[in-house]
Amino acid sequence: MGKNLSIATISLLLVLASTNAQQVFDVKSYGAQPNADITQALTKAWKAACAVAGSKVVISAGAYKLGLVTLLGPCKGAIEFNLQGTLQAPSDVASFNGKDGWVVFESINGLTVLGGGVFDGKGQQAWQKNKCNEDKNCNVLPINIRFNYVTNSIVQDITSKDSKFFHINLFECKKLQFQHVTITAPADSPNTDGIHMGSSSQITITNATIGTGDDCISIGDGNQDVTINQVTCGPGHGLSIGSLGKYQNEQPVSGIRVTGATLSNTDNGVRIKTWPSSPSGVASDIHFENIVMNNVANPIVIDQNYCPNSQCSNQSPSKVKISNVSFKKIRGTSSTKEAVNLICSKSVPCQQVVLSEIDLAYKGGGGSTTSTCANVQPAVSGKQNPPACSNKVI
């Protein structure tokens, strides 16, 4: 655990550890052995632990094979999942029978996941079969770790490795904290987002180290009150809000704070992206501050024409309304000449956008960085390298 834990984190840990005598449920007591499949043993250990107020499921050091498993609550009280070893997923996607999650934590209040262990998704075979860049209706691939309806919980000191798809996915979670989480996959592994979240609130991600083949962190619709602090990102596609506006009835995104991040050799930096021809939507109160870019392509982006691999219609502009967005104290080097690219919607231009203390030097030879703006008039203060909106698109 880090030295600078917040008061909220300490309070949460004290609540989760409030049971004086945690009962320990070691999977080896249920037949688990290293280098063997422990799916049944873990399922039995979890079920027994969940029925007790104040319990701990332990997977000790060693490598263990694990099929898809749902660790379901609600439990009698706070419960700890203590992974000290390495869990290995099946390599063959067919063994998941179309399911979209490998290890699923669901409907749990007061969960702690820790122990320094590894969730190894064994994604190499699946990446070769991934057609999502070509087909938006591609087959679903399993996510390493899913948190569904998890509240008042903390995840710390674990590693997610080589997921077949997203590494960690949050859905309808509340008051969930991530501390010192490591996520790793090769730069060319498709759709291996580090942490993706939807319809969640009061989420905190601190001191994470993430390097994947897609977004280090992606924030979908319906998220509110998300704090991301001291995250290291790269390789990958950067830190993204969105993409938004792809589906009907998406919920607003608001209250997003990203501070103290360092991005290195990523395809994008900090980014808000929405689809053209979208239904109406809202993204507001989004702030990026004190961020270092090391050889990052497209360090600062608002892209309301987001359309990867020509999978959409550009016939009408995005209807997602972006407002109250700030980029402050962002510095370092850009691998592209265009370092700031704010392309907002003609239908609903961006409002209350702030650029303050921007200093991004071009890493390549010949010339300095540039800035392009469309349908936005940002408020500017402090140093501006590149000069704000030096290129304007009508």
The three-point CA angle 375-323-275 to 5° equals 65
Read off the tokens for 42: 């873990």
Q: Which of 167, 180, 196, 237 is catalytic?
A: 237
User: Residue 227 in contact with residue 255, Cβ under 8 Å?
Assistant: no
> CA 75 from chain center: how many Å?
26
Q: How many Å separate Cα 85 from the centre of its chain?
A: 24
| Catalytic, out of 120, 162, 193, 214 | 214
214 is catalytic: yes
Contact at 8 Å (CB) between 274 and 307?
no
Mark whether 225 is an active-site residue.
no
Residues 6 or more apart whose Cβ sits within 8 Å of residue 116: 83, 84, 157, 158
Report the 10 Å Cβ neighbour count for 90: 20
How many CA atoms are closer than 13 Å to the CA of 204, on its beta-carbon side?
Answer: 19
Q: Residues with Cβ < 8 Å from 264, sequence gap 6 or more?
A: 232, 233, 234, 235, 294, 295, 296
Torsion sign (Cα): 364, 330, 286, 387: negative
Q: Which two tokens stand for residue 45?
A: 């250990």
The DSSP code sequence of 164-228 is: SS-SEEEES-EEEEEES-EEE--TT-TT--SEEEES-EEEEEES-EEE-SS-SEEE-TT-EEEEE
Please identify every residue annotated as catalytic. Answer: 214, 237
